[in-house]
Chain A
Amino acid sequence: MLKKTFLSTTFIAAVGVFSLPVCAQGIAPFSLADSGRLAPAAAAVGTASTSLRRFAASQQDLLLSGERAMTNIAFFVTAAETAQPARLNIVYQTAVSVLPQTSSMQVFVNDRSVSETKLRAGPANSLVLEIPSGMLQPGYNSIGIAVDQHHRVDCSLSGTYELWTQVDAARSGIDFALPDLGPISLADLPVVARSGTDHTAINVVLPEGTSNRLKSLALSAVQAVSILGSFKHPLVTFSKTAGTGPGIDIFFGEGAAARAIGAGTGLPGVSLIKPDPTGRAGLVLGTQAAPDIASAVTALVSAAQSSRASGTIFGLKALGQPEQAEFPLATAVSLREFGLDTQEFSGRMYRSEMSFFLPTDFYPADYDTARLKLNAAYAAGLSTDAQLLVKANGHQVAVLSLNAPGGAQLTDQVLKIPLGNLRPGRNTISFEASLLKNTDATCDPAEAADLDPRFVIRESSTLRVPQVGRMGHLPDLGAIANAGTADAAVGASLTLLTPVSDGPSFDAAATILALSARSSRTVRTTRLSSTVPPTTSGDLLAVGTFKDLPPELLTHTGVNEPGMLQLGSSEPEPTRGGQPEAKTLAVREASFFTSFATPMDVSTRVAELLNNSVLWARRTVVIDGIGDSSTFTAIQGYQPDRSASVILAQAATPGSQPHAWSVVAAPDEAALSQGIALLSGGSGWDRLSGAVGTVDDKGDVETFAANRERLFETQPRSLTNLRLVFAGWLSRHVQTYMISILLLALLLGVSTHLFLRQLGNTKR
C-alpha cells in the first residue's frame, strides 16, 4: 500500500515535470483496418532525447492488441546505468475505438507494478515514470507493459480486434540522463540492440578481395557477437566501410585498429569501440598488441560460447532464451510460470499464451500427451457459443464450452495435448476464450461498462510434459535454428555455399548464422564454397537465388522454383510445427530401421554390446537398424507457393551418417534480402521446423514436413527412449505401422492355425 502511494506520487510528479503536450491532441481519424500496423507517430510528442536508451524490440514486439495484452521486454542495463536515476518513457498510440474511461495501462518493472493509468486515445501519448533506484539491476531487467482496453461502441468479438496500443519503439525506452555510455565491456554488448529499430545491424568491415579464410573467421565473429549481445533480430551486412546509426561494426586487423581506439576487453586481440551518440559500437579483432586475427576470433568465440546472459530472473525470462525457459519434463508446472495471464478477466475475448522450450532433440510425435490440468472459472450468463480454445503452436488441441447458464468452476479439467503438436525448441500454447454475454448484443453503454470478471484461469493450473523421446531427426529446419544436428553437436564445421562470396546472398547467409548462433548459443565454424561438396563433407548451408544455386542442390532438397510446375507432384498439406495435420494420414516411406543412422562404427558397437549384455534387447534392435539410405532424404512432391519470398529447405544426406543440407533460396536477391530481414525481424525464426519453410512477404512462416526422415542418436541409448522414439516413428508412419500390424495379424492367424493342428485332440 505504502509503495503504491509512493509510486502514484512519483507518477504525478513525473507527469507534472515532464508533461508533454498530449492534451492538445485531438483524436486523429485513422483506418481501423490498419490496426495491426504502425501508424506514424505524431510529431507533437517531440523527438526523443539523445540520452534515451530504447527498447531492444521491434515495432511488432510492442504492439498490444486485444482487450488485455501484455508485453515483457528484456532491457539490458549496464552497471554504470544502475547508479543513475532512471526514467521510463513510453510513447504510445491507442486505437480510436478504445474507450479511455475504462481502459488502462499498467507498467511493471521486474514483475512489480510501477504504474497504472488510464489509456489515452489518440496518435501519440506519452507516459513518463521515474523508476525507483535499486529496482533495475545490472544485466537484463524486464519491463512489462500491460493494457486493458475496452471498446467505445462495439461489444462484439470482432470489436476486440479493433483494440490496440502501439508503443513507439523509436521514442520509448529508459532515459538514464547519460549522454555518453562510456566504455563498455563484452558483457555489455546487448546495449547495441537498444535501438528501437526492427533489427540490430551487424556490419562486417572487410576490404575487397578478402580471403575466404578471413571471411570464415568473420562469420565466426558475427556469430559470437550475436550470442554476446543476445541479438533477437540481427541483420548482418558485409561492406568495405563502417556503417552508421545504431548497430555494431566489426573490424579486422591493424587497418581497423588505426581508425579508432577501442578499449581492451580482456581477450587478446579483441577490443571494443564504445557506442557513439547514434548507438554505433565497434569491435576490433586483431589489435596491434595481438595482431593474429584467427586467435582473436577464437578467443571471442570461446568467450561467447561460455557466456551467460545476466540480469534479474524476470529480465532473463523476458529475454526468452532456451536455457531460461527450458521446460522441466515430467513435472507439473504452473502455467503462470511460463507467462500465462492468470488474472481475472472481464473482457469478451481472453487471449493469452505461454511459451517454453523443449530439448532440441525432442522427437515430436504422438506417443504420449502433455497434460494440461486446468483450474478455471467462468461467469454466469455467457452466450451459448462461449468457449475456450487451446492451441499448441497454432494448432487447435482442445475446445471447452463455457456456456453453462449458471457459470461453472472447472476443477482439474484435464486436456491432453499430443506430443506431436509440440516441437523441439520454442513452443507456444495459446488460450483464447470468447466470453460474450447475451447482453453484449445490444451493447448498452451502461452494460458495456460492466467490468465483472467473466473468466479466469487460475494459477493452480498446470502443464505436465512427460519424458519425451530424444532422437535427432533430419530433415528438420529446427536443426538449423538450434544447431541440433549431429555435426553441430561435435563441433564439426559447416559448409557455406553461396554462388558468390559477397553481396546479398552472403549477407543473408551471415544473418542466418547469426540467428542460429543466438538461439543455440553455439558458434559454427564455416568452410566457404561455391560448388557442391561431397555428401560426406558434413552439414551444408546454401543461400542464393534459384538461378544461381547449383540445380542438384535444389533437387536434393526437393524444392523447385515457385511457379515451375512439376508434373505428377502433389502439394503436401501445410503442417503445424513440422508434423502432419491431425486428420491427415501421413504417407511416409522407409522403415524405422533404415531411417536410423549409425552414430558409430559397427565394431565399436559390437564391443559395446559385449560389454554390457544386460542391454541386449535394445542393442539388437539398433544393430538391426543399421540401414543405409542411398538417396537424399527430403520432402517429395513439394510445389512452392508463388507468394513465398524465401524458401528454406533441408535434406538429410545419404550414407550411414546423415548431414543436414539446407538451402535458402529466393527468386531474386532483393526478395532474398527482404525475406531474411522479415524472418529475423519477426518471430518466424523460432517456428522453423519440418523439411521446408516458406517466408511470405509479410514475414509469415509456413512449414511442411518431409515424408521420410533419418534418425540419429543424441542420447546414451536406453530402452525407454528407444521405445518412445519407435512409437513416435510409428505414429508418424501410420501406414507402415498399419501394414506391419496387419501382416503380423495374418501371420499370427496362419501360425495359430498350423500350431493348433498339432495340439490337443485332432479330428478323428
Chain B
Amino acid sequence: MRVVLSGAGWLACAAAFLLLIQQPISVNAQWVIAMTALGVAAAIYALRLGGTWRFIFLAAASVVILRYAYWRTTATLPSTEDLINFVPAIILYGAEMYCLLMLAMSLFVAADPLERSRAPQYPDNDLPSVDVFVPSYNESSDILALTLSAAKGMDYPADRLRVHLLDDGGTDEKRLSRNPAIATAALRRHEELKDLCRDLEVTYHTRVANVHAKAGNLNNGLSRSSGKLIVVFDADHAPAREFLRETVGFFLTDPKLFLVQTPHFFANPDPLEKNLSTFKRMPSENEMFYGPIQKGLDKWNAAFFCGSAAVLRREALAQVGGFSGISITEDCETALDLHSRGWNSLYVDRPMVTGLQPETVSSFIGQRSRWCRGMVQILLLKNPAFRRGLSLPQRICYLSSMMFWFFPFIRLIFLISPLLFILFDLKIFDASVDEFISYSITYLCAGELIRNYLYGRVRWPWVSDLYEYVQSVYLARAVISVLINPRRPTFNVTAKGQTTDKEHLSELAWPYFAIFGVLLFVMGVAIYRFQTEPAISGMLLVVGAWNLMNLIVAGAALGVVTERMERRQSPRLLAMRKGDLCIGGATVPVAIEDVSLGGAKVLALGPVPEGLVRENARLLIYPLSGGKEIGSLPVAIQSLVTSEEGLGLGVRFKAALQHYHLIAELMLADMEPVREQRSKRRRMRGILGGSLAFIGWGISYPLRAFHHLIFDRDEPKAKGAEPAGLEAAFPTSAPTSSRIS
C-alpha cells in the first residue's frame, strides 16, 4: 500500500514536472531557469549534502537536462527537405539522445547505492563446504604459488575448504600438440604445477581440450568437485585471509542467493595511470564500477559476476548447466542467466583480492575489446530487455551495463560533428549562439555537475572522456564486427604484467596522432574562418570551442599512448607490520612497509650491525594478532637507504615454494593499508581544478608525444610489447607471455 501511495505521489510529481519542462519558452527565460536550477544544484554540490538532497540535486539538474532535450528535439533539427544537413543532423541528434538515455539509466542504477553491513557470522559447524577455483592459462608458477597459498591460507575451517588449480595451459590438447615447442612447454608446465599443487596441498586439474575457454575450464572444475559454494579467483588475484568470512555468511541467510561479488583491486597502474603518472593520486578506473555502480546495481538485485573474487552457489550454477559460454564475457552472461531464473546476487564493497591489470596500451585495448565485444554479444544473443524472468529494474541495469559499450560510436560522432560545420559548412545544429549558451552550455554544466556529484570521489573530471576516447579509436571496429557476426568473437587472454624498459610510443599510437592532427588542422580552419567570416563568427566560436574540447582530450590521449618506463617487476602492496631481520646472527626489529612477490621494503627499528652480510639473511614473520613467529623467509639485502625515519632496507626474497604462504601472509593477511590507500585516493576532485589540470595534460602531453614521434622513429620495439596495430586489439591467438584474466 505504501509503495502504491508513494509511487502515485512520485508519478504525479514527475508528470507535473514534465508538463512544466516541455514548455517552449524564451531564450532569456531558459537562461534564468537553467542558471537558477544549476545554482540550486551547485549549492547542494558545494555543501556536499546527501540523503534527500541527493534527489533534489538530481531533480534540479534534470531541469536543465530535460529542458535541453526538449529544445534539442523541437527546435534544432534542420528540415527534412534538406537531406545533406538532415542526415548528419539526425545522427548527431540520435547520439545525443542515446547519451541522455544512458544518463537516465545510469541515474536509475546509481539512484540509491546500497551500503551493506558485514556478512553475518556463523559457527564453523554451520558453514558450507567451499571449492576455490583458480583457473590458469599461462601464468608463471610463482604467481600461482602466491594465489594458491593465499587461497589456502584463507580463514575457514580447513575441512570445508578445497582449493583447485584449473590449468588450461597443460591440457592434453596442448601436451600432445604436433608443435613440439608447444608440447614441450605444456608438458613442463603440467609437471611443474602438479608439483606445486602437491606441495601446497591443492588439487590440480587439467582437461582434454581447451574448449569454451574460461567457462569451459570452470565447468571442468565444477564437474570434479562437490563443495556447496564455488569461489573463483583469477590466477593473479590473491585473496585476503578474511575473504570467506566476509562473504559466505550471506549464503546461509538467503537460500536464493547465487552470487556474492567483491571488488577487484589492482596493485599496478593501467596505461593511463602509468603514462599520465596518476596512479598514486587518482582513483583507479574500476573504482567507479566497483563503487557507486555495483552498489547501485545491488540495490536492484542486479550486481553481476565479474569473473573473479566472487562466491557462487553450486546449486544455482547446476540449474543453468554451469558457467555460460556463449559470449566471451561468461561472467556477466552467467549472472544474467541466474537472475532471470529468480536467483539473487549481492555485492560486498570490501576489496579482498589484489591483482594485476594490463599495463600497456595494447593489452589494455585488447582487454577492453573483449569486454566490449562480450557485452554486445550478450545484448544481441540474450537481450535483457526481452529475457523472461527479469524484473524491470534488472532489465534496466543490465541494459545500462551493455549499452554502455556503444560509446565508441557516440564518441566518434561527437568527434566528427564539429568538423562538418567548420570544414564543410553543414548546418546540422540549428541554433543561435544565445540558444547554445542558454541550452547547450548549461546542459553540459549540469551533466558535469551530476557526474562530479555522483562519481567525483572515484572519477576525476574529464577522465571518463579520456578513457572512452582512448578506447573508441579501436573499439568502434570491435563493436561493428560483433554486430555483423555476434557468435564469432573468441576469448582472448588479457596480457598483464608487461614491462616497458624505456619511454616510447605505443605501437597503437598512430591513429591518435592522426586524429590529433586533423583536429588541430580543423582548429586552424576555425580560427581562419572566424577572422574572415564575421557573419558566422558566433557559431564558429561555439563549434570551435567544441572542437577544442575534443582536441584537448585527443592531446591528453597522446600522453596515454606514450608508454612510460616501468621497471618494477611485481607491484608492491602497502603493509604495516612488524618483523625481525636476522643478519649474521644479529636480530634487528623492522617495520615491513611494502611487500611484493619478489621482495619487501623494511625500516630498521634498531641498530643495524656494522659490515652486515648482504646474503643469507632471514626475515622473521609474526602473526598480525601477535604471538609466536609463524616462519621466516630467506632474503638478500639489496639496498640501504637512510631517511629521516631511519635506515630503510630493500630485501629480495629467495623464496622456495614452501615460503609462498609467508609471502601471502605478508601481502594479504591485512589488506587494511591497501584499503586505506584506496580510500585516500578517493578525494573529491573539483570540477574547476580537475578541468584545469586536464587542460594542462591536453597541452603538455602532445609535446612529449611528438618528441617521441620525431626522434624515436627507428628505435626497436619495446620488450614484451604485443604485435603492433590492430592485431593487438583483435588478437587472433593468445599472447604468449602474459597472465590470464
Residue ranges of A at the interface with B (Cβ–Cβ < 8 Å): 365-368, 400-406, 408, 410, 413-416, 418, 420, 582-583, 585, 724, 726-727, 730-731, 734, 737-738, 740-742, 744-761, 763-764
Contacts and interface: CB of A to CB of B under 8 A. Distances in A.
Given A744-B16, A758-B2, A738 B32 contact: yes
B28 interface: yes
A745 B21 CA distance: 10
Contact of B33 (A404, A405, A734, A758): A734
Interface stretch (B190-198, B229-237, B294-302): B294-302
Interface string B107-125: 0000110111100000000
B385 interface: no
Given A734-B33, A751-B6, A751-B13, 6 more contacts: A742-B36, A749-B52, A752-B10, A752-B111, A761-B298, A761-B301
B29 A730 contact: yes
Nearest to A366: B26
Contacts of A585: 32
A172 B93 CA distance: 61
Contact of A755 (B10, B25, B56): B10
Given A741-B20, A760-B393, A761-B299, A755 B6 contact: yes
Interface stretch (B57-65, B131-139, B499-507): B57-65
A752 B23 contact: no
B33 A745 contact: no
B80 interface: no
Contacts of A749: 52-60
Contact of B111 (A403, A750, A756): A756
Nearest to B25: A731
A724 B23 CA distance: 8
Most buried by B among A405, A582, A730: A730
B28 A740 contact: no
A742 B301 CA distance: 32
A644 B300 CA distance: 70
B27 A746 contact: no
Given A367-B26, A583-B28, A751-B6, A745 B17 contact: yes
Given A727-B24, A742-B60, A752 B33 contact: no
B199 interface: no
A722 B21 CA distance: 16
Contact of B52 (A405, A738, A741, A753): A753
A433 to B, nearest CB: 12
A731 B17 contact: no
A714 B704 CA distance: 70
Nearest to B112: A756
Nearest to B62: A745
B63 A741 contact: yes
17 contacts: A367-B24, A368-B24, A404-B535, A414-B430, A726-B23, A734-B33, A737-B33, A741-B21, A741-B37, A745-B40, A745-B56, A748-B55, A749-B53, A752-B111, A754-B10, A763-B116, A764-B116
A764 B432 CA distance: 52
Contacts of A761: 114, 298-301
Nearest to B535: A400
B255 interface: no
A737 B2 contact: no
Contacts of B537: 401
Contacts of A402: 534-535
Contacts of A731: 25-26, 29
Contact of A741 (B33, B55, B299): B33
Given A401-B535, A724-B24, A744 B13 contact: yes
Most buried by A among B6, B37, B51, B537: B6
Contact of B56 (A413, A726, A750): A750
Contacts of B115: 763
Interface in B420-437: 430, 432, 435
Nearest to A378: B535
Contacts of B55: 748-750, 752-753, 756
Contacts of B435: 416
Contact of B23 (A404, A413, A730): A730
Contacts of A753: 51-52, 54-55
Given A745-B37, A745-B60, A758-B6, A727 B299 contact: no
Contact of A752 (B59, B533, B535): B59
B9 interface: yes
B9 A754 contact: yes
Contacts of B33: 734, 737-738, 741
B7 interface: yes
Contacts of A420: 26
A368 B23 CA distance: 10
B63 A745 contact: yes
Contacts of B59: 744-746, 748-749, 752
A752 B59 CA distance: 9
Contacts of B2: 758
A730 B25 contact: yes
Nearest to A401: B534
B581 to A, nearest CB: 47
Contacts of B17: 741, 744-745, 747-748
Nearest to B39: A742
A748 B52 CA distance: 10
A724 B697 CA distance: 48
A583 B24 CA distance: 18
A401 B530 CA distance: 11
Contacts of A368: 24
Contacts of A756: 55, 111-112
A408 B26 contact: no
A277 B27 CA distance: 59
Nearest to A745: B59
B3 interface: yes
A751 B17 CA distance: 12
Nearest to A752: B55
4 closest A-B pairs (Cβ-Cβ)?
Answer: A366-B26, A401-B534, A749-B56, A749-B55
Given A749-B56, A754-B9, A408 B533 contact: yes
B14 interface: yes
Given A744-B16, A764-B117, A582 B28 contact: yes
B532 interface: yes
Interface string B514-549: 000000000000000000111111000000000000
Given A748-B14, A761-B114, A742 B28 contact: no
A426 B26 CA distance: 22
A721 to B, nearest CB: 13
Contacts of B535: 400-402, 404, 408, 410, 413
B3 A758 contact: yes
A755 B23 contact: no
B20 A737 contact: yes
A227 B25 CA distance: 39
Contacts of A724: 24
B25 A366 contact: yes
A757 B114 CA distance: 11
B83 to A, nearest CB: 15
B534 A404 contact: yes
B18 to A, nearest CB: 9
A738 B32 CA distance: 8
B478 to A, nearest CB: 33
Most buried by B among A410, A752, A758: A752
A404 B36 contact: no
Given A749-B59, A751-B9, A755-B6, A760 B52 contact: no
A583 B32 CA distance: 10
B62 to A, nearest CB: 7
Nearest to B44: A749
Interface in B681-711: none
A414 to B, nearest CB: 7
A759 B26 contact: no
A28 to B, nearest CB: 44
A731 B23 CA distance: 9
A94 B301 CA distance: 88
Contacts of B14: 748, 751
